[in-house]
């Protein structure tokens, strides 16, 4: 059987897959089984934050794998404790962390913290969580309900948990709040929704308002976190200090990991939450290596340089091809070109793949760029050369 046949027979068909078979990666270049080279502007949807085959990550993992991969959370786990400390330090956040295995799970943890806070802290129970239209928070029954996109809430998976509502835009949150609202859950740059950043002043105003009402601000940094927007957290860039922050994608450099951090350290107690795999030696050692690479790049100014160079190139494309794109959007290395329409986006994506460049869709009509933060100037040049070739014929 071919690989495609194998996948189609034995894999549950929940994705519309492309069947290019990649067998090796180096930095931001991927190689197929036939030796074809692709430039990777997607990094596995913001996951391979330090690129493929990163020597520091690889060495850390090889050493760790030869010692211990996993014990349980009933024992202390050295890299887990160190990673929690590193995240809080680099994010300048006075909090504590629970480790999970994915973004959805991190958000589940955040919702559990909020629910218990709402149950135990007030005379009248608070449990409602407000989210935003075009948001994305995960695929579990609860996080899919928290996701503000109606088409995800198909009756196929109903009934969904109660207590979630979503509104259109930050200003609409104020009207939605009632005396049962416990938390507001938002992204600072909506990734899946179309790489749409919110305004700093509007976010700071919301933070202040929620604080006054003792309503928790939960920021989903699953995609924006770990230097994706240019700072350790997008919350650092927006100069806010949320009650709860969730992380996942870029944190493990490809090893599955999720994290929920909160300044309300005493809400959860022993037995309230748990995970078999969460925070094991493998994933937290990966997290430490990723943070070592990225915090060095941040301190040396290299990250700012890469970001600036990518921005110049992207803006060039937006200006030159205004026949295809209406707008250039995003922050840091989480960027998008808003295509005229859904058809245009689809043909851009297909043409990029033909020209051996991997980019991503977002929302209905955004071509999304999420390169590794370690991408080199040469890889950026080559990627945009291919991008221009791909779109100039459209
Ligand atoms: C990807 C993503 C998630 C879901 O993460 P999984 O690891 O796929 O569960 C949640 N929130 C945001 C903002 C994301 O980008």
* CATH 3.40.640.10 domain extents, the chain: 57-299
CB of 102 within 6 A of ligand 1: the answer is yes
CATH of 57-299, one of 3.40.640.10, 3.40.190.10, 3.20.20.220, 3.20.20.10: 3.40.640.10
Local confidence pLDDT in tens for the 394 residues of the chain: 999 999 999 999 999 999 999 999 999 999 999 999 999 999 999 999 999 999 999 999 999 999 999 999 999 999 999 999 999 999 999 999 999 999 999 999 999 999 999 999 999 999 999 999 999 999 999 999 999 999 999 999 999 999 999 999 999 999 999 999 999 999 999 999 999 999 999 999 999 999 999 999 999 999 999 999 999 999 999 999 999 999 999 999 999 999 999 999 999 999 999 999 999 999 999 999 999 999 999 999 999 999 999 999 999 999 999 999 999 999 999 999 999 999 999 999 999 999 999 999 999 999 999 999 999 999 999 999 999 999 998 8
CA 100 to ligand 1 center in whole angstroms: 12
Q: Out of 111, 222, 275, 277, give the residue to mutate to test ligand 1, the one with the largest number of ligand atoms within 8 Å of its CB.
A: 222
- For residue 338 the two structure tokens come to 């808003």
CA 265 to mean position of chain CA atoms: 24
Q: What is each CA distance from 293 to 94, 100, 233, 373, in whole angstroms?
A: 23, 22, 16, 10
Whether the CB of 104 sits within 6 Å of ligand 1 = yes
Single pTM value for the model: 0.98
Kindly list the distances between the CA atom of residue 183 and the CA atoms of 26, 105, 120, 285, in Å, as whole numbers in the listed order.
42, 17, 14, 32
CA 136–ligand 1 middle distance (angstroms): 7
Q: Are 283 and 252 in contact (CB under 8 A)?
A: yes
Domain with CATH 3.90.1150.10 in the chain: 3-53+301-392
CB 231 within 8 A of CB 197: no
DSSP conformation class of 192: T
Q: Residue 105 CA: which ligand 1 atom is closest?
A: 9
The CATH class that applies to domain 3-53+301-392 reads: alpha beta
Task: Return the closest-CA partner of residue 99 out of 66, 126, 76, 132.
Answer: 76
Give the pLDDT confidence score for residue 226 in this predicted structure. Answer: 98
């Amino acid at each position: 059987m071919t690989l495609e046949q194998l996948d189609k027979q034995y894999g549950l068909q929940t994705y519309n897959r492309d069947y290019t078979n990649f067998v090796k990666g180096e930095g931001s270049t991927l190689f197929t089984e036939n030796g074809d080279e692709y430039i990777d502007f997607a990094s596995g949807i913001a996951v391979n934050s330090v690129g493929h085959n990163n020597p520091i990550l690889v060495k850390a993992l090889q050493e760790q794998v030869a010692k211990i991969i996993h014990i349980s959370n009933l024992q202390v786990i050295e890299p887990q404790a160190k990673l929690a400390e590193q995240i809080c330090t680099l994010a300048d956040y006075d909090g504590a962390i629970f480790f999970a295995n994915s973004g959805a799970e991190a958000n589940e943890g955040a919702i559990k913290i909020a629910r218990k806070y709402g149950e135990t802290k007030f005379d009248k129970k608070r449990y409602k969580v407000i989210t935003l239209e075009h948001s994305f928070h995960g695929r579990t029954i609860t996080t899919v309900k928290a996701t503000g996109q109606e088409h995800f809430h198909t009756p196929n998976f109903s009934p969904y948990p109660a207590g979630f509502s979503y509104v259109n835009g930050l200003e609409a949150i104020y009207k939605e709040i009632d005396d049962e609202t416990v938390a507001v859950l938002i992204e600072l740059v909506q990734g899946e929704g179309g790489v749409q950043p919110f305004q700093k002043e509007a976010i700071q105003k919301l933070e202040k308002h929620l604080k006054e009402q003792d309503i928790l601000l939960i920021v989903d940094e699953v995609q924006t976190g770990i230097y994706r927007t240019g700072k350790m957290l997008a919350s650092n860039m927006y100069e806010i200090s949320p009650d709860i922050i969730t992380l996942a994608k870029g944190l493990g450099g490809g090893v599955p990991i999720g994290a929920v951090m909160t300044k309300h350290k005493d809400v959860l107690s022993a037995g309230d939450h748990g995970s078999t795999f969460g925070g094991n030696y493998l994933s937290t050692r990966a997290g430490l290596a990723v943070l070592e690479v990225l915090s060095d790049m941040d301190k040396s100014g290299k990250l700012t340089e890469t970001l600036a160079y990518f921005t110049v190139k992207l803006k060039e494309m937006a200006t030159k091809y205004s026949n295809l794109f209406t707008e250039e959007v995003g922050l840091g290395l989480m960027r998008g070109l808003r295509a005229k329409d859904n058809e245009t986006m689809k043909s851009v994506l297909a043409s990029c793949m033909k020209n051996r460049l991997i980019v991503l869709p977002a929302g209905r009509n955004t071509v999304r760029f999420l390169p590794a933060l370690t991408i080199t100037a040469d890889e950026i040049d080559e990627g945009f050369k291919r991008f221009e070739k791909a779109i100039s014929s459209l």
